[in-house]
Structure 1
Amino acid sequence: MDIITSFCFAESLNALDHKGFRHPVLVGVEVALPMYWVFKHFRPVQWIFMHTPTWLSLLMSPETAGIMGVQNVTSLVLTSTRLLLDLENKKAGESLPTRHGLFDEAMALLIAGSDTVGNTLAVGGFHVLNNPNVYEKLFNELKKNWLVLEKSLGYEELEKMPYLNAVIKESLRVSHGVVSALPRVVPPSGATIGGAYIPGGTVVGMSSPYVHMNEGIFPEAHRFIPERWLQPNSKHLEHWLVPFSRGPRMCLGVNLAWCELTIGFAHIFRKFDLKLHETTERDIMWKEYFVPHFKGKRVQSFIKLRPS
């Protein structure tokens, strides 16, 4: 969240400095996620929520104060954006986006740029720690290529490490990214999908877990196996790795996400000795609220510095 707010709004929320890492915005997003399906299928409820005064919303759900506070973070950016769009749209004869619409876009960037990468680090980190053989291989590769901890390695060097890359790909596969079926409209000419003809104009969708957990593509799909990405014929598997979706509407932050994951996994598992603490696979079971909403507590670890 600190990274995405710095990139998008030129002002970090400094969530890492907050006590217990419980920044109000993070708490607000966590509370708001279960309302996703209510808003999607019961539009009157969404209308009521959007037109409820801020003071009343806070009275009914104090935990959402963080989301309300995002308006303060984004206000300067939204004002600047409106000025720029005003100049461009006047030339094109188009109307100006509303401030509310721009705020929705800001929230989309905030959630899409934080929750997804955070989930991948948490879920992938759990599986690495839950598989001592994987943990050992990852640490040995990092130590071999990063002998002196005081000499920081850049992304260009870290991304060349095969096993680190394999761990990230497998973490992306089992954490999925967006888990809702993203809607697509079939072209007017229609399309044949899986042997069935679909008429033009039909709304279709496929959620990433159906691909990532397909035993025909990924044998032993429910096991965390980074080695599946290191086989001679593994290149074809990348076609089926779809946490960022595919096509013209795929995630525009894919390169930033890869950079965050590479640097994050490398620094965490090279610099610290980690052990799971009161955390099992049950804690990373999830419900589908557009993105995964975990049933258990977040992955926790005992952390101590590993001697260099």
Structure 2
Amino acid sequence: MYILLIYCVLPYVAAVALYRLFFHPLRQYPGPLLAAVTQGYQSYFNVVKVGGLVYQLDKLHKIYGPAVRIGPNMLHFNYREAYHDIYTYGSTLVKDREFYHGMVPYAAESSVGFVDPSLAKTRRGHLAPMFSRRAVVAMEHSVQQKVNKLLTILNEHHTSPESSVDMGAAYRSFTMDVITSYCFADSVNTLDAPGFDHPFNQSVVDSFHIFWALQHFFSAIPLFIVNHLPRKLAMFLPLFGGYLNLKFAFENQVDDILRDPSKLSSVDHDTIYRHLLDEGSLPREALIQEAFVLMAAGSHTSGTASQVGTFYALKNPDIHRRLFEELCDAWPNMDEPMSFVALEKLPYFNAFVKETLRFAVGIIQPLPRVIGPATPSIGGLKLPIGTIAGMSSIFLHMNPDVFPDPHVFNPDRWLVEDISTMMLDLAPFSKGPRICPGLNLAWCELYLVLGNIFRKLDLKMHTTEDMINEYRIEHTMNYFVVRWRKSFQAYVDKLSK
């Protein structure tokens, strides 16, 4: 029986491999033979090499050129014209259903998971009022409250090398508390955990760690069973522990809101979920999955960016000094808050934030898009309909033609007269019709937290033997969102004041 099965399967596998190598519409594009034959090439680097695909893509482009076949039906590019054709102006391309539905249970019924552009547009329309620049500016006091809490904790509990703290954890706790308050009017208060070691943040990290297993082996992981197991029994599945912890937490919050929507009106600021409920009756599961997306996007990316920017400011005394001097000149009385809008107008600080976002790409995964019948050329190439195209924004941000010496953290590059090309190629929140809807909140968080940190505290880096010297693509792990392999420790030096 097994021998018969092998005799049946092997010819089929051989025929598929031969077709993909010699007859497939993408056969003329260079790349590894294994990538042309099977999706397993990407699976290997994402799962076995722990999110190492983007690092491998950098190597592939050096070998094969600007357009590389990285899957049986997928091309990856590394030049700016292709990026803008796919994302910035890519209204005729749609998200790859297989990839985004492989994100289940995180996002299938969320604004990120929708493949249908009309569904995505409707949901984004519900979210837009709360994420508009006007709305963010009106609510910046709630962000400032979390900034003040973070500074108080650092100033009271982390004032020596012995009490130094992981700044990545500190910033992600801050952004987690901001986004949960912004969504539910009920912050999870991760800032209160000693050393910023809150189990909620660990659950987020754990949930990211299973992303590629879900993506590549979804048929072998029956998550619909996991989702419907009794809670006590489900928690015995360690692989899904982080995901289940978050799922149960969001279920409780959403159920509380559905039982008593008036809770959303009893706070001193508007909330995202009030808008979602006001716009119509969304299914409970859609609300829970939207919570996943908003929480992940709203905490991890801007928290990580703050970590990277702080690292380079503390590493380079000249950057640190110039930030402090400019902030002091514009903000003589630090007991009075300085607004997000005012901080944006400070030339060097503004340049520093932009350079921070250039280095700290939020999502380094090449987001796959499907070529449609009306799609024009991509980077000068007319691709077959149905081809999946993508490009990691890390290749946009590290393009030496636009950003000379791209691996050097240099805020001064943004102080030249014409920055239009650099701004076009700054894509930490992606570009075009599927750009991250929360980018205004992220900008606000970065300006407020970094401005307050460098104006009010004298942070010092606590050096250790294994501390990294710089943040580079080699130091990242791609879990859809970027995760740096190492953070750094810092403390408030009160003696230097």
TM-score, normalised with respect to structure 1: 0.88
Corresponding residue of 2:345: 160
Corresponding residue of 1:303: 492
Pair 1:50-2:50 in alignment: no
Q: CA deviation at 1:178?
A: 1.0
CA change 1:2–1:88 in 2 (3 A) is closer
5+ residue gaps, structure 2, are 1-175, 262-271
Which structure exhibits the higher relative contact order, with contacts defined as CA atoms closer than 8 Å and separated by 6 or more residues? Answer: 2
- 1:279-294 → structure 2 map (5 Å cutoff): 279-281=467-469, 285-294=475-484
**Could you list the per-position Cα deviations for residues 201-258 of structure 1 after superposition, in whole angstroms to 9, with x for gaps in the alignment?**
3322211111111122211111100111111222321000001111111011111111
Residues in 1 aligned to 2:494 and 2:375: alpha-carbon distance in whole angstroms: 58
- 1:231-270 → structure 2 map (5 Å cutoff): 231-270=416-455
* Aligned with residue 396 of structure 2, among 211, 221, 224: 211
Give the conservation status (yes or no) of the 8 Å contact 1:244–1:251: yes
- 1:179-218 → structure 2 map (5 Å cutoff): 179-218=364-403
Residues in 1 aligned to 2:410 and 2:349: alpha-carbon distance in whole angstroms: 12
Pair 1:230-2:415 in alignment: yes
5+ residue gaps, structure 1, are 90-95
Corresponding residue of 2:200: 25
State the AA in 1 paired with 2:482. Answer: P
Residues in 1 aligned to 2:376 and 2:198: alpha-carbon distance in whole angstroms: 46
Corresponding residue of 1:77: 257
More off after superposition, 45-54 vs 3-12: 45-54
More off after superposition, 137-146 vs 97-106: 97-106
- 1:120-139 → structure 2 map (5 Å cutoff): 120-139=305-324
* Aligned with residue 141 of structure 1, among 326, 330, 340: 326
CA change 1:218–1:88 in 2 (3 A) is closer
Give the conservation status (yes or no) of the 8 Å contact 1:6–1:12: yes
Corresponding residue of 1:275: 460
**Could you list the per-position Cα deviations for residues 117-142 of structure 1 after superposition, in whole angstroms to 9, with x for gaps in the alignment?**
10000011111111111111111111
Count of residues paired in the alignment: 301
Question: Any idea what SS the aligned residue of 1:191 has?
Answer: coil
Residues in 1 aligned to 2:303 and 2:494: alpha-carbon distance in whole angstroms: 22
* Aligned with residue 170 of structure 1, among 333, 355, 379: 355
* Aligned with residue 111 of structure 1, among 271, 289, 296: 296
Question: Any idea what SS the aligned residue of 1:248 has?
Answer: helix
State the AA in 2 paired with 1:72. Answer: N
CA change 1:82–1:73 in 2 (3 A) is closer
Q: CA deviation at 1:293?
A: 1.8
More off after superposition, 68-77 vs 160-169: 68-77
Corresponding residue of 1:93: none
Pair 1:38-2:218 in alignment: no
Residue identity (%): 38
Residues in 2 aligned to 1:107 and 1:247: alpha-carbon distance in whole angstroms: 23
Question: Any idea what SS the aligned residue of 1:42 has?
Answer: helix
**Could you list the per-position Cα deviations for residues 282-301 of structure 1 after superposition, in whole angstroms to 9, with x for gaps in the alignment?**
687211110112222x3320
Q: CA deviation at 1:167?
A: 0.8
Residues in 2 aligned to 1:139 and 1:85: alpha-carbon distance in whole angstroms: 41
Question: Any idea what SS the aligned residue of 1:157 has?
Answer: helix
More off after superposition, 219-228 vs 177-186: 177-186
Give the conservation status (yes or no) of the 8 Å contact 2:460–2:493: no
State the AA in 1 paired with 2:411. Answer: P
More off after superposition, 256-265 vs 22-31: 22-31
TM-score, normalised with respect to structure 2: 0.56
Residues in 2 aligned to 1:280 and 1:101: alpha-carbon distance in whole angstroms: 40
Q: CA deviation at 1:188?
A: 1.3
Give the conservation status (yes or no) of the 8 Å contact 2:184–2:273: no
State the AA in 1 paired with 2:196. Answer: F
Q: CA deviation at 1:58?
A: 2.2
CA change 1:131–1:82 in 2 (3 A) is closer
Give the conservation status (yes or no) of the 8 Å contact 2:355–2:410: yes
Question: Any idea what SS the aligned residue of 2:423 has?
Answer: helix
Corresponding residue of 2:15: none
CA change 1:251–1:63 in 2 (3 A) is closer
How large is the Cα RMSD of the aligned pairs?
Answer: 2.6
CA change 1:191–1:16 in 2 (3 A) is same
Residues in 2 aligned to 1:84 and 1:161: alpha-carbon distance in whole angstroms: 34
